[in-house]
Chain A
Amino acid sequence: MGDGAIHPDDRKYFKEHEWVRSDGANGRVGLSAYAAEALGDIVFIELPDVGSAVTATEACGEIESVKSVSTLHSPVSGTVTAVNQSAVDSPELINSSPNDEGWLFEVEMSGANETDGLMSAYDYSAYVDTL
Chain B
Amino acid sequence: MDRLHILTTPLEKYHLAIGAKMTEFSGWKMPVSYSGITSEHLAVRESVGVFDVSHLGRLLVSGAAAAATLGRILTLDVSRLAVNTGAYCLILNSNAGIEEDLIALRQANNEFLLLVNAGNRAKVIKTLESVCPESGTSILDTTFSTVMLAIQGPRCPQVLDQLGIQIGDLPRYGTSTQVWRGADLTVARSGYTGELGYEVIVPAKHGERLFREIVAAGAGIGILPCGLGARDTLRTEMGYPLWGNDIDPDTSPDSAGLLFAVDAADHEFLGKASLLKQMTRQTYSLSGLSMDSGIARRGDRILLPDGSSVPVTSGTFSPSLKRGIALAYLPLAANKFHSVQVEVRGKLHTAEIVGRPIYRFGGVNG
Number of residue pairs spanning A and B whose beta carbons lie under 8 angstroms apart:
39
- Given contacts A65-B37, A65-B317, 12 further A-B pairs with CB under 8 A are A40-B33, A40-B36, A40-B37, A41-B37, A41-B319, A43-B38, A44-B295, A64-B317, A66-B233, A66-B316, A67-B32, A95-B36
Give the nearest-CB partner of A64 in chain B: B295
Q: Are B229 and A43 in contact (CB under 8 A)?
A: no
The verdict on B21 contacting chain A, using a C-beta distance below 8 Å, is yes
Q: Are A69 and B297 in contact (CB under 8 A)?
A: yes
Given the known A-B contacts A40-B21, A43-B295, A43-B317, are A67 and B37 also in contact in the complex, defined by CB atoms under 8 Å?
Answer: yes
The verdict on A49 contacting chain B, using a C-beta distance below 8 Å, is no
Cα(A69)–Cα(B346), bound, Å: 14
Q: Which residues does chain A contribute within 8 Å of B39, judged by CB atoms?
A: 41
Give the nearest-CB partner of A2 in chain B: B21
The verdict on B338 contacting chain A, using a C-beta distance below 8 Å, is no
Which size class do B's interface residues fall under? 10 to 19
Cα(A44)–Cα(B322), bound, Å: 10
Q: Binary interface profile of A, 32-43, with partner B (CB < 8 Å = 1, else 0)?
A: 000000001101
Q: Binary interface profile of A, 1-16, with partner B (CB < 8 Å = 1, else 0)?
A: 0100000000000000
The verdict on B345 contacting chain A, using a C-beta distance below 8 Å, is yes
The verdict on A62 contacting chain B, using a C-beta distance below 8 Å, is yes
Q: Binary interface profile of B, 216-240, with partner A (CB < 8 Å = 1, else 0)?
A: 0000000000000100110000000
Cα(A64)–Cα(B36), bound, Å: 14
Q: Tell me, rounded to whole Å, the shortest Cβ–Cβ distance linking B140 to chain A.
A: 35
Q: Are A66 and B345 in contact (CB under 8 A)?
A: no
Q: Which residues does chain A contribute within 8 Å of B37, judged by CB atoms?
A: 40-41, 65-67
Q: Are B36 and A67 in contact (CB under 8 A)?
A: no
Give the nearest-CB partner of B295 in chain A: A64
Q: Are A62 and B345 in contact (CB under 8 A)?
A: yes
Q: Which residues does chain B contribute within 8 Å of A69, judged by CB atoms?
A: 295, 297, 345
Q: Are B21 and A44 in contact (CB under 8 A)?
A: no
Q: Tell me, rounded to whole Å, the shortest Cβ–Cβ distance linking B221 to chain A.
A: 22
Q: Which residues does chain B contribute within 8 Å of A95, judged by CB atoms?
A: 36
Q: Binary interface profile of B, 178-193, with partner A (CB < 8 Å = 1, else 0)?
A: 0000000000000000
Interchain residue pairs A-B with the least CB separation, the first 9 = A41-B38, A66-B37, A43-B317, A66-B317, A41-B36, A41-B37, A64-B295, A67-B229, A40-B37
Q: Which residues does chain A contribute within 8 Å of B316, judged by CB atoms?
A: 66-67
Cα(A63)–Cα(B319), bound, Å: 16
Task: List B278-322 residues whose CB lies under 8 Å from chain A.
Answer: 295, 297, 316-317, 319, 322
* A-B residue pairs in contact (CB < 8 Å), sample of 19: A2-B21, A40-B21, A40-B33, A40-B37, A43-B295, A43-B322, A64-B317, A65-B317, A66-B37, A66-B38, A66-B229, A66-B233, A66-B316, A66-B319, A67-B37, A67-B316, A68-B297, A69-B297, A95-B36
CB contact between A44 and one of B36, B317, B345 (< 8 Å): that residue: B317
Task: List A37-84 residues whose CB lies under 8 Å from chain B.
Answer: 40-41, 43-44, 62, 64-69
Q: Which residues does chain A contribute within 8 Å of B317, judged by CB atoms?
A: 43-44, 64-66
Q: Tell me, rounded to whole Å, the shortest Cβ–Cβ distance linking A41 to chain B.
A: 4
Give the nearest-CB partner of A68 in chain B: B297
Give the nearest-CB partner of B229 in chain A: A67
Cα(A62)–Cα(B295), bound, Å: 12
Q: Tell me, rounded to whole Å, the shortest Cβ–Cβ distance linking B157 to chain A.
A: 28
